[in-house]
Amino acid sequence: MSESFDRLVRALRKLPGLGAKSAERMALHLALERQDDAREIAAAISTALGRVTPCPECAGLSEDGELCAICGNPGRRQDAICIVERSSDIAAIEKSGAWRGKYHVLGGKLSPLHKIGPDKLNLAALSKRIEGGGVEEIILALSNDIEGEATCHYISERIIGGREIRLTRIGFGLPSGSQLGFADSGTIKSALESRKTF
């Protein structure tokens, strides 16, 4: 028996989607069988904790408080924003190569059931970006489910209001309730290309 091992299992169980059995198997792998891997993982986590920050503009992944590579790229469309739930959605869309504009990460979607109201999402920053002017097009790339739908309506009515901005939504090519991260590049590309006015 090892108290440190038990502590590692308890810590690993905090990872999303990791049950008791998997956490135990992983802890054994890290602490006993593959200590070199474990040291590398520990070092990577430590570095990431110190350096990874949300981009001050889009809230996507960045480093040391700087603009991310997309927001800082003058070659991207500056007048178009694709709104996504998570940073991982940006990676999925980028892989498809079908979007040359910018992004905005909400950090989730509205969900009364999980007590996620507008104040819990990155909406104030979105308002600010829109009020700053120069935005001509906004794409809603949110989940194709009831909560995603409610979030789209909130953004359309409360954030964009009566502004002259072309508002479209993708997701019609994606299976219901799917998350972008699980869709392949071809599916994302056609969903983007067939986006509809919202």
Binding site for Zn ion (CB under 5 A): 55, 57-58, 60, 68, 71
Task: Report how far apart, in Å, the C-alpha atoms of 81 and of each of 73, 77, 133, 151, 153 are.
Answer: 14, 9, 12, 16, 17
Q: How far is the CB of 134 from Zn ion (least distance, A)?
A: 16
Nearer to Zn ion, 103 or 174 (CB): 103
Tell me how far apart the alpha carbons of residues 92 and 112 are, in angstroms, rounded to a whole number: 27
CB of 84 to Zn ion, least distance (A): 12
Minimum CB distance to Zn ion smaller for 67 or for 116: 67
Half-sphere exposure of 151 (CA within 13 A, CB side): 30
**Matching residue, tokens 């920050």:** 53
CB of 58 or CB of 183, closer to Zn ion: 58
Q: For Zn ion, which is the closer residue by CB, 13 or 129?
A: 129
Count CB atoms within 10 A of the CB of residue 148.
Answer: 23
Tell me the closest approach of the beta carbon of residue 59 to Zn ion, in angstroms.
7
**CB 193, min distance to Zn ion, A:** 23
